[in-house]
Structure 1
Amino acid sequence: MNDQSKFQSADNSVSHVPVAENSLNFKSVIGKFLAFLPYFFISIVISLSVAFLFNRYSTPRYLVKATMLIKEKNNRTGMDGADGFIQGMQLLSSSKNIENELGILRARNVVEETIRNLDFGISYYSIGNIKKTDLYGNNPFRIEIDSNHLQTIGGDLNFDLLGNDEIEIYSEDPLNIFVPNTGEIVDSKVKVLRQKFNINNDIVSEYFKFKLIKNDPYFGKKGGQQFSFKLNSFENLVNEYNNNYEVKPINKLSTIVEITKEGSWPNKDIAFINMLCQTYTQRGLADKNRTTQNTISFIENQLSNISDSLSSVENQLQLFRSANKIVDIGSNGANIMEQLIGLENEKSKEELKAKYYDYLFNYVSANKSYDEVIAPGAMGVQDPILNGLLSKLVEVYAKKKTLEISLKESNPMIQETNNTLKVLRQTLLENIKNIQAGNKLVRKDFDERISIYEAQIGNLPLKEQKLLNMTRKYQLSDKLYTYLLEKRAEAGIAGAGITPDSKILDTSIVEGKTYPKTSNNYSIALAIGLTLPLIIIISLEFFNNSINNHSQLQQVSKIPLVGNIVHNTKQTALVIANHPKSQVSEAFRNLRSNISYLSGTKSGKKVIMVTSTVSGEGKTFISMNLSSVLAIGGFKTLLIGVDLRKPKIFQDFKLDNSYGLTNYLIGRADKYKIVQKTELENLDIITAGPTPPNPSELIMSAAFYNLIEEYKKEYDYIILDTPPIGLVADGLDIMKHSDIVLYVARQTVSKKNYLNLINEIYANEKEKNIGLIFNDINFASAYGYGYGAYGYGYGYGYGSSYGSGYGYGYGYGYGYGYGSQYGYGDTEIETKPLWKRIMGK
């Protein structure tokens, strides 16, 4: 059996422990997270606190919503009288395109009219420590400005209540000064300095004059509160609200629309949305009433003309009857007159239509807007082609007005609409000309038929002829007058029966708060509080190349682990000599027991080389205490400081470094002069001596190795504290002349790649007795050791209390638990703070 197999089979071996790997890894991972539990708690508390402050002091935003029904076109047909007149009017006015109406609701001129109807001219605020609150609808005071005096605009004018109706007015930001009557800005960037006033009097200064009216009789009695108000320009208000709300149907097939607005001041938004709906409804009614009024005006003009003619004919008829003593017309004449009046009555209606056609032709020819045209049905014209063309023209014109709300005149959609209007207008004019020609033929036909009966009148007596003509004119005018009166009455009835094409279904209400989303923010904060430490842990694992625990050391090296040296909290490095019952001392006793299995035999002289990769891993600390524990164990031991560049041993043992190994190697001292005795029996030391200019040449000289051979005759163990092999090549040559090589790795200091060189040496020289020492183990700070990762135990004659003990006299075992338990001795546990772990310190 070779040396390595002997070491691996020894009872006190610590390199291969029969623990289930999956269970170990899982518990190691759990241990890492449990070690960070305080940081998870702190992170969650901080995150939730930030979310609480954000939710409390952010200016909230609310969603305000109203719903409105926009009525569709009424398709009633086949009606007479007032209902028929209304139907004729509706051919033009009741055709509603939902997209056009949505555009009208978004129109700037609708917003302007809405703002004019609201009392948004002055904004009132209450000022808190963090934020200010709009007091619209709940303000304890109001301001009445003097329009003939200069006023501030464009910013807040603040005032503090001092108590007893005293206030102090000032501005924090520069303001503009303007003349209310003209709106002219006469000065800008004026800052109002603090001035005191009594609110019961007019408040007057160079830049403002107003009255403060109390809505609350107790306002101003107590001090300590802060308020402000701001005069808003009409243009700024319109810009603030225009395009700052949304209008959309509740679904594609519905004419019910939702009007929503999101803002920080819900009372103002409620007032705005309600007034917007009212403004839109009133505008629709006004458009309908204007069309009705135009129709009535046209009829009244005709009535005025006929009224004069009717009165004149009636007077002439009265005079003729009185002068000629004639009351009635004969039966023959009465029959002729009846036929004539019937024909002339129909002809007069056609003449009225002819006048309407002339009006319509001139209106369409001269106007570029078509929203005030008199409908054909209002004048008894029931031409479907004319009605269809005129309705289409009005509809396309309404579409153009909607597009102009958001598009420029040069936009292709508006250009296309203009072309459509041009074609429709020309087609309509051609249709009117055709109708006029047909109307002219109809009137000519009536004239021809009337002339036949007029010829028959010539056969009657002369007086009877005159009476018949006068009576005919009177009755014709009377019937036409009556017809127009009926039309005017129908128009009046239609006007009285006009109802809006929209209906407010639900006035605006606050739907809910949209910002901040309180529950979402707490959820996000909780997620961040949990995720941030998790990211830190993962980052530490991913980016940290340090060896933090026993399992990581075993993962990067197959070299047997012969010793685990716990963290030393004592003030001295000579722990064995000064604190023999400490945990560190017990660890070195266990190391002493394990070393005998690396040499291949339990007897014989042994040269033990102690080295590491870089400085600071504790090889000198290991060398001194290993030498001490061997000496205390009864072995005659020599400790040689071979690190000629940075000698340290003499400092801890308080020895003279003026003579040492260097002096011997350069031939200025013999082997007896350089050996120094210590307070420990069986322990001698050779210090490094003065630092030479050529340490590598001296160490690699034959004189050094001959010296080692000479001392092997006198000592049981020779401990060589050598330079780090990762920095200089001295140690690599010394290995060839050593029986045992102890390679030191220090927790959180040694990097995983530091062991590449010694691993390569171990792989290429299997017969070499190399062992690893894991130094400066801090159970609480090492991820793999805390909370159930590993437990270590030392004791005389038994192992740890949490695992199986191995060894001859000293035990070492594995278990699961927190910390370590020893047979006796001081507790040596220190927790490193997080920042040190992150920085690798």
Structure 2
Amino acid sequence: MAAKEETELEEMIRNAGGMEAEEKEDAGDGLDITTLLQVARKSLPWIALLIALGLTGSWLFLRYTKPVYQSSSVIKIDERTEAGVLGMGSIGGAVEKRQELANLSGEVELIKSNLIYRRLKDSLALDVNYYVEGTVLESELYKRSPFKVEYAIKDPAFYNRKLNVNFLSPTQFRLSYLEAKEEISGDYIVGQPINIPGISLKLTTDSSFFDASALEAQFYFVILDDGSVNGYLNRNISVEIVNPEAHTVQIAFADFNPLKAQDIVNKIDTVYLQEKLAQKKEASDKSLRFLGEQTDVTNDKLQQAEDNLQSFARENKTYDVRGDAATVINKIADQEEKRQELLQRQSLLEDLSRLVEQDQITSNEDSTVAQSIPGLAELEDNRLMQEIEALNNQQWDLRRVLRSYKETTEAVKQRRVQLDFTKNTIRRLLDQNKELLQEQVNKMNRQRDELSAKLAGLPEKATQQARLQRPFELYEKTYVSLINRELEFRIGQAGTTADFQILSPASLPSAPISPVRAMVYAIGLAGGIVLGLGLIAVRYFLHDTVTNTRELERMTSAALLGVIPTYDKEKMTVSKLVVDKNPKSAISESIRSIRTNLDFIGSARKKRIISVTSTVSGEGKTFVTVNLGGIIALSEQRVIILDLDMRKPKVNLAFGTENVRGISTILIEKHTVEECIQHTDIPTLDFISAGPTPPNPSELILNPKFDELLAELHQQYDVILIDTPPVGLVTDGILIMRKADIPLYIVRAGYSKKAFLKNINKLMRTNNFTRLSTILNDASATGLAGYGYGYGYGYGQGYYDEPTPPKGIISRLRQRIS
């Protein structure tokens, strides 16, 4: 019962040990903050260099990039629809409200149109640009050029061509340019006409800017054609609606020269004002012409009616013939007045039909229907008024588009189609109104006939007088109305102002909008930091080898028995016994410390079997075995070293002897143990080499003869040190470790991969190696965690002739980075 409980307890301990090993293995896969900080600390000089390079790149970018300046102004546009101009406020108000945004968009397009550009080019000299070449960049000499050029181009090839000017003296200069990759130059006198095939020039100097420095500078000028100037304006101008509710628009212009940008924005404001005033004057003139024509026609009719009344008065010698016919006459007068209104509406509809049918709209000269007929307010058909207003807006839109586009463009065609559709709608509505008015006129005619029949019995003179009086009064009222309307238009024209205000005129920009120095330097700094962090990440992820005791303890559950520092006394091609040559050296002290730690694992006087293994060849397994055996032997204990790495024996090389016989010949009973034991310079240290390489090393180790060999050696020696094959390559080492009292596992700093440490945890879990301990070999000063020793030694070829120190380019890069 007690034995069963003890077995269960041991099983629980093994399970707990396995779980702890698994946790250690999982923890090794996580982020190692300490290693990351160590890598970051080593990378600080590189990070500082990358940041310096980033800032230097930002400085170079700013040095070789021309700054761009932007000047802007804000204007308020109070654009009114023609419905409001013609007095149709109740009808046009709703339409005007819906079209506010459309009108603002139209004004934006007008500002960016070729019409404004033409006025701008007439006001500013944008066709010739003057430059001076600097050390790095050229500068435009806007309004401060020491010379001016007058030109007449015959060959268009001279447009947009660089023409160099070098002053030889204040009165002489050299002009040069490239023609078919060949430089053509000539010396000329200032102010003298220059006739070159294809171009005529005249260069004059400006005393305000011409000084001694002009004789040393390199100048050139470029003559731009209209297309280049338009392209330059289109690329750099920006017109945006700032607030649709407030009708505000921002006009901005960007250029390398701040003064030029300011002048262009201010000049755009000016030419836009001139264009708006010209448009308003043109609309007023057309309205006045129409009113004048109607006034003349009405005046003629009124004069004729007056003549008729005068003739009647002369013939009848009286002005009042009413009598009993007064009541009937009043009715006829009222009826006739209504009839005349209908006839006037018919006339208005006819005039409207005639103007709608005419297609005389051009980009600058023709008026809209609403401008041509100021009496549209007398119509009572709201639908017709809306369509007329739509036609009016489409005519203005078409006029605006024709300023910038040709008739064949798609934008003009679409607006023509919309215009035709609106005209058809208006025709249909006009026909309906004509039919309705004709019916009313016919009805009024019948009523007039009835009243006239009633007057048949009345005195003929009264009837004739009333008939003559009616048109006179009607024409008199119409004439007075037209005179008043014409007077209002003339008063309005006298005080014509543009429908916009400059809220914020353009100012001289003091700082460039591009490049922004702070942003460029911030990008350079951020780029250097990002590259530095990337370098840290790369170095961290390439850091795949064990370098210090902290990593070893963190990633394995095995106890750390000790650390062997780097041995730098000599460069050895094979492992050697070195502790007997200098007992006071750092390496001897470190191995002596390992010997002391072994005493805590097992009693120093007890017979012990110690196996030494590693994951792969080249980690210092043989070196540690030989020197650990030497240190233990120097403590007056009898030690024998067995070389069981029969595939790649190296213990005999450490002692400088041959490998003619050894473990393999003992196990096949070719030699006895006494025949194979070899002595060393240390009296209490012996060894048995591996012997000739057998074809089946694993079978020999499983042979009972091996256990007999260990039992026999136990009788003669206190400690048996076994140099086993690497467990990462063959399984022989695991078989030997099972027979050992203390299995040791060698990890070489800077050589052993971190992935190898998982093999240690796996060995402990699967084979229950509770006493398995690790030794960190070839540790540098940083890997000793407080020791500070240093040594180095080299190894030969690895197991199965693998190169021990990696010599590839990638491997050397990894070593250098880590």
Q: Take 1:679 and 1:166, find their aligned partners in 2: how far apart are those partners?
A: 99
In the TM superposition, what is the alpha-carbon distance from 1:256 to its structure 2 partner? 1.7
Q: How does 1:719-798 map to 2 (within 5 A)?
A: 719-766=721-768, 769-780=771-782, 791-793=785-787
Q: Take 2:624 and 2:730, find their aligned partners in 1: how far apart are those partners?
A: 20
Mean Cα displacement is larger for which, 89-98 or 218-227? Answer: 89-98
The alignment status of 1:592 with 2:595, answered yes or no, reads yes
Structure 2 equivalent of residue 555 of structure 1: 554
Q: How does 1:59-208 map to 2 (within 5 A)?
A: 59-71=66-78, 73=80, 95=96, 97-107=99-109, 110-116=112-118, 117-118=120-121, 119-128=125-134, 131-149=137-155, 151-153=157-159, 157=162, 159=164, 161=166, 164=169, 166-167=173-174, 169-170=176-177, 190-193=180-183, 195=185, 197-198=187-188, 200=190
Q: Take 2:41 and 2:346, find their aligned partners in 1: how far apart are those partners?
A: 99
Deviations 1:117-170 (A, max 9, x none): 22333344455565555544554544433223454345x526375864655745
Task: Rate the CA distance shift 1:737–1:389 in 2: closer, same or farther, 3 A.
Answer: closer
In the TM superposition, what is the alpha-carbon distance from 1:602 to its structure 2 partner? 1.5
Structure 2 equivalent of residue 362 of structure 1: 354
List alignment gaps of at least 5 residues for structure 2.
Answer: 1-5, 11-20, 22-26, 308-312, 322-332, 793-809
In the TM superposition, what is the alpha-carbon distance from 1:260 to its structure 2 partner? 4.0
The answer to whether the 8 A contact 1:662-1:691 is kept is no
Structure 1 equivalent of residue 425 of structure 2: 423
Structure 2 equivalent of residue 497 of structure 1: 495
Q: Take 2:380 and 2:463, find their aligned partners in 1: how far apart are those partners?
A: 42
In the TM superposition, what is the alpha-carbon distance from 1:249 to its structure 2 partner? 3.4
Q: Take 1:225 and 1:443, find their aligned partners in 2: how far apart are those partners?
A: 93
Structure 2 equivalent of residue 52 of structure 1: 59
The answer to whether the 8 A contact 1:745-1:775 is kept is yes
Structure 2 equivalent of residue 571 of structure 1: 570
The TM-score with structure 1 as length reference comes to 0.68
Q: Take 1:771 and 1:725, find their aligned partners in 2: how far apart are those partners?
A: 15
Structure 1 equivalent of residue 645 of structure 2: 643
Q: How does 1:224-303 map to 2 (within 5 A)?
A: 225-239=217-231, 241-242=233-234, 245-260=237-252, 266-300=258-292
In the TM superposition, what is the alpha-carbon distance from 1:590 to its structure 2 partner? 1.0
Structure 1 equivalent of residue 803 of structure 2: none
Letter of the aligned partner of 2:786 in structure 1?
Y
Task: Rate the CA distance shift 1:361–1:701 in 2: closer, same or farther, 3 A.
Answer: same
The answer to whether the 8 A contact 2:763-2:769 is kept is no
Deviations 1:527-579 (A, max 9, x none): 44444444554565567543344343233322221112233444345553555
Q: Take 1:202 and 1:667, find their aligned partners in 2: how far apart are those partners?
A: 120
| Number of residue pairs matched by the alignment | 732
Letter of the aligned partner of 1:589 in structure 2?
R
Q: Take 2:710 and 2:104, find their aligned partners in 1: how far apart are those partners?
A: 102
Letter of the aligned partner of 1:595 in structure 2?
L
Task: Rate the CA distance shift 1:259–1:616 in 2: closer, same or farther, 3 A.
Answer: farther
Q: Take 1:735 and 1:298, find their aligned partners in 2: how far apart are those partners?
A: 120
Task: Rate the CA distance shift 1:300–1:424 in 2: closer, same or farther, 3 A.
Answer: closer
Structure 2 equivalent of residue 508 of structure 1: 506
The answer to whether the 8 A contact 1:104-1:110 is kept is no
In the TM superposition, what is the alpha-carbon distance from 1:688 to its structure 2 partner? 5.1
SS of the residue 2:604 aligns to? coil
Q: Take 1:411 and 1:125, find their aligned partners in 2: how far apart are those partners?
A: 44
The answer to whether the 8 A contact 1:644-1:688 is kept is yes
Task: Rate the CA distance shift 1:147–1:243 in 2: closer, same or farther, 3 A.
Answer: closer
The answer to whether the 8 A contact 1:559-1:759 is kept is yes
Task: Rate the CA distance shift 1:745–1:503 in 2: closer, same or farther, 3 A.
Answer: same
Q: Take 2:811 and 2:218, find their aligned partners in 1: how far apart are those partners?
A: 47
The answer to whether the 8 A contact 2:745-2:772 is kept is yes
Task: Rate the CA distance shift 1:836–1:299 in 2: closer, same or farther, 3 A.
Answer: closer
Q: Take 2:198 and 2:633, find their aligned partners in 1: how far apart are those partners?
A: 98
Letter of the aligned partner of 2:72 in structure 1?
K
In the TM superposition, what is the alpha-carbon distance from 1:490 to its structure 2 partner? 4.5
Letter of the aligned partner of 1:256 in structure 2?
T
Deviations 1:391-419 (A, max 9, x none): 34313544677899999569999967764
Q: Take 1:161 and 1:713, find their aligned partners in 2: how far apart are those partners?
A: 108
In the TM superposition, what is the alpha-carbon distance from 1:744 to its structure 2 partner? 0.9
The answer to whether the 8 A contact 2:147-2:210 is kept is no
In the TM superposition, what is the alpha-carbon distance from 1:619 to its structure 2 partner? 1.6
Q: Take 1:779 and 1:258, find their aligned partners in 2: how far apart are those partners?
A: 69
In the TM superposition, what is the alpha-carbon distance from 1:589 to its structure 2 partner? 1.7
List alignment gaps of at least 5 residues for structure 1.
Answer: 5-14, 16-20, 78-84, 176-189, 317-327, 337-341, 461-468, 786-790, 794-819
The answer to whether the 8 A contact 2:301-2:475 is kept is yes
SS of the residue 2:579 aligns to? helix
CA RMSD of aligned residues (A): 5.8
The answer to whether the 8 A contact 1:393-1:421 is kept is yes
Structure 2 equivalent of residue 602 of structure 1: 604
The TM-score with structure 2 as length reference comes to 0.70
SS of the residue 2:744 aligns to? strand
In the TM superposition, what is the alpha-carbon distance from 1:611 to its structure 2 partner? 1.3
In the TM superposition, what is the alpha-carbon distance from 1:289 to its structure 2 partner? 1.7
Structure 2 equivalent of residue 796 of structure 1: none
The answer to whether the 8 A contact 1:150-1:209 is kept is no
Q: Take 1:577 and 1:428, find their aligned partners in 2: how far apart are those partners?
A: 127
Task: Rate the CA distance shift 1:583–1:432 in 2: closer, same or farther, 3 A.
Answer: farther
In the TM superposition, what is the alpha-carbon distance from 1:431 to its structure 2 partner? 4.6
Q: Take 2:561 and 2:106, find their aligned partners in 1: how far apart are those partners?
A: 89
Q: Take 1:738 and 1:151, find their aligned partners in 2: how far apart are those partners?
A: 97
SS of the residue 1:627 aligns to? helix
Q: How does 1:405-424 map to 2 (within 5 A)?
A: 408=410, 419-420=421-422, 422-424=424-426
Mean Cα displacement is larger for which, 298-307 or 241-250? Answer: 298-307
Letter of the aligned partner of 1:364 in structure 2?
V
Letter of the aligned partner of 1:42 in structure 2?
L
Q: Take 1:706 and 1:203, find their aligned partners in 2: how far apart are those partners?
A: 118
Task: Rate the CA distance shift 1:308–1:533 in 2: closer, same or farther, 3 A.
Answer: closer
Deviations 1:722-780 (A, max 9, x none): 32111122322332443322101223432333234443332344466421112233353
Q: Take 1:530 and 1:434, find their aligned partners in 2: how far apart are those partners?
A: 84
SS of the residue 1:564 aligns to? strand
Aligned counterpart for 1:611 among listed residues 603, 613, 638: 613
Letter of the aligned partner of 1:760 in structure 2?
K
Task: Rate the CA distance shift 1:377–1:308 in 2: closer, same or farther, 3 A.
Answer: closer
In the TM superposition, what is the alpha-carbon distance from 1:366 to its structure 2 partner? 1.5
Percent identity (aligned): 24
Structure 2 equivalent of residue 519 of structure 1: 518
Structure 2 equivalent of residue 42 of structure 1: 49
In the TM superposition, what is the alpha-carbon distance from 1:593 to its structure 2 partner? 0.9
The answer to whether the 8 A contact 2:132-2:219 is kept is yes
Q: Take 2:459 and 2:489, find their aligned partners in 1: how far apart are those partners?
A: 36
In the TM superposition, what is the alpha-carbon distance from 1:213 to its structure 2 partner? 4.2
Task: Rate the CA distance shift 1:255–1:792 in 2: closer, same or farther, 3 A.
Answer: same
The answer to whether the 8 A contact 2:652-2:689 is kept is yes
SS of the residue 1:253 aligns to? coil
In the TM superposition, what is the alpha-carbon distance from 1:28 to its structure 2 partner? 7.0
Task: Rate the CA distance shift 1:555–1:639 in 2: closer, same or farther, 3 A.
Answer: same
The answer to whether the 8 A contact 1:643-1:688 is kept is yes
In the TM superposition, what is the alpha-carbon distance from 1:231 to its structure 2 partner? 3.7
Letter of the aligned partner of 1:159 in structure 2?
N
